[in-house]
Amino acid sequence: MSNSKLYKGSLSIIILKLLTETHKMYGYEITQKVKELTQGELNITEGALYPALHKLEADGFLEVEMQRVDNRLRKYYKLTQAGNKEEVSRIEELERFIETIQGIVNPKPSLG
């Protein structure tokens, strides 16, 4: 993953967001999707991705489904009902955060 702590703090939001758009995904697929969406800017490592996925699963936001694909077992992650609610709440929180930071970094010129 990119060294930025900003990205690291947003990993669970990224996972939740991707899973709302795609019904189910497996670990490697998530890394590739993020790479594609960010044109290679964000490269999620295994060391960051799987603990985040397992934490979301332990918190009850994700459920798993296993399938045999290409000679091996594949673990798919899906959002639970609680995960759907969490995604909405975290995205709203992120948008408020971006807006606040935007106000500091790029303040609107005052009319007075």
Partner 1 sequence: MKQQLTQEEIQFIDNYLKNSGVEYIDTRSEVVDHVASEIENRFIENNTSDFYEEFKMYMIQHKKALLKNIHKYRWALDKRILKQVVKNLFHQKVLAFQTLFLVISITLLNTSLIDQVDFKAIHIVIAGSVVFLSLIYPFFWFRKQKISVINRSAVLCYFINYLVFDLVLKIVDDYIFTYSISLVIITWFNISFAFTQVNYFKFYKDKFLLS
Q: Collapse the DSSP code of 73 into the 3-class scheme (helix H, G, I; strand E, B; otherwise coil) and give the result.
A: strand
Q: Collapse the DSSP code of 47 into the 3-class scheme (helix H, G, I; strand E, B; otherwise coil) and give the result.
A: helix
**Nearest to partner 1 of 40, 103 (CB atom):** 40
* Shortest distance in whole angstroms from residue 50 CB to partner 1: 4
With contacts defined by CB under 8 A, how many residues of the chain interact with partner 1?
A: 26
**Residue numbers 7-46 binding partner 1 by CB under 8 A:** 26-29, 32, 45-46
Distance (Å, whole) CA 97 – CA 65: 33
Tokens linked to 32: 């590739």
Interface with partner 1, residue 63, by CB under 8 A: no
